[in-house]
Amino acid sequence: MAGTARPVVLDAMSGDHGPAETVPGALAARREHGVPVVLVGRADDLHRELRRHGGTGEVEVEHAGEVVPMAERGARAAARPESSLAVGCALARRRGAAFVSAGSTGAVVTCAVRAFGRREGVLRPALAVALPTPSGSTVLVDAGGTADPTPKMLRQFALLGAAYARNVLGVPDPSVGLLSIGAEPGKGNRLAREAAALLPGLPARFHGNVEGHDVLAGTVDVVVTDGFTGNVVLKNIEGCVRTVLGMVAEAGIAPPDRLAEVARLYTADTHGGAALLGLAGTVVVGHGSSRSTAIARACVVASELAAGGGPVPVDGRSSPRTAAPVGPVA
């Protein structure tokens, strides 16, 4: 896709490792996938890293003097207009480019909502991650965008997730399950029970409740939950994969390098990060611990999502295969 790829604006100060990983990640996106990247952050730091990787001139650099610490909460982060996060969001918006950050999810969501705005009718944005299952992928939504949603918001997350499954994964008529603690509609906490009453009316194929063991079983194409539970589940899967494959390696019953291939399916190196759905722009939130491979993958995913274009129908109307749910407004 070299030459035709959409440009991506990268918050180069983000993540646990900052420019030491974002700069080589951006160079890999450019060199290996033809995705043009604009690095945003402290110009001195970025040019030094570019020199270190022999990449001066290969990607653009936009200066932003401040850095949002990983521990910063959303509202405080948004009050730093000179940060690489805020400057990056604004630049992406002006250029109609996709935006990638491996910063704190709360901070990225808050700043991205301010910069891009929500699509018409969207109450709150949600993060979507496609997780590998034995038969394909399941979209987990919300994986951490909105920690305390209302039942109505969950209903929209279901539609955003279904649009993602259709447009990004190519599933023609995705099934949607509500994550709860029992298969029956009466089971769950207050939020899940109230949402279970709203979802059967969705203009989407509603499967009913699903449980924790269904997330990776391929029971449904889309698993809908609140951003707290979704984020816990996403990270729980990461930890579980690591621990269980570690036990297999420890038992000496499989070669570690072959196990690493399976483990990689569940890391940001493969999925690249979470798409922030419901905004009038394309935003991908990378994992805080992303190394350069995961950063490169996030840039490629963001470029592909942006190339899809077109709005997400939160009223549930179907949209053509080429329309990505997080693409920029044309």
Which residues contact its own copies (rule: CB under 8 A)? 71, 73, 104-106, 133-134, 144, 147-148, 179-184, 186-190, 192, 211-217, 225-229, 231-248, 250-251, 253-255, 258-259, 261-262, 265-266
Q: Which of 72, 168, 177, 173 is nearest to 129 (CA)?
A: 168
d(CA 216, CA 268): 16
∠ CA 236-279-299, rounded to 5° = 65
Distances (CA, A) of 56 to 46, 61, 100, 116, 220: 10, 10, 21, 30, 46
Nearest residue (CB) to its own copies, 34 versus 212: 212
CB of 181 to its own copies, least distance (A): 4
Quick check: 202 and 316 in contact, CB under 8 A? Answer: yes
Half-sphere exposure of 53 (CA within 13 A, CB side): 22
- The nearer residue to its own copies, 146 or 303, going by C-beta atoms, is 146
Query: Residue ranges of the alpha helices (H) in 199-251?
Result: 227-250
CA gap 220, 206 in Å, rounded: 9
Of the pair 34, 185, the CB lying nearest its own copies is at: 185
Task: Give least dist CB 133 to its own copies, A.
Answer: 7
Compare residues 250 and 315 and give the one whose CB is closer to its own copies: 250
What are the structure tokens assigned to 19, written together?
């420019």
Maximum CA pair distance of the chain? 60
Judged by DSSP in three states, 240 sits in helix
Amino acid at 129: V
- Distance of closest approach, residue 89 Cβ to its own copies, in angstroms: 21
Distance in Å, CB of 278 to its own copies, minimum: 19
The C-alpha atoms of residue 104 and residue 270 are separated, in whole angstroms, by 20
- Minimal distance in Å, beta carbon 179 to its own copies? 6
| Cβ at position 136, least distance to its own copies in Å | 12
Closer to its own copies by Cβ: residue 81 or 182? 182
Q: Hey, how many other C-beta atoms are within 10 angstroms of the C-beta on 134? A: 7
Indicate the residue among 217 and 307 with the shorter CB distance to its own copies: 217
Length of the chain: 330
Question: Would you say 2 or 75 has its CB closer to its own copies?
Answer: 75
We find the least distance from the C-beta atom of residue 249 to its own copies, in angstroms, to be 10
Return the amino acid letter for 32.
E
Q: Please state the closest distance from residue 253 (CB atom) to its own copies, in A.
A: 4
Q: Quick one: 2 or 240, whose CB is closer to its own copies?
A: 240
Tally helices (H) and strands (E) across the chain. Answer: 11, 11
CA 151, distance to chain mean position in Å, is 22
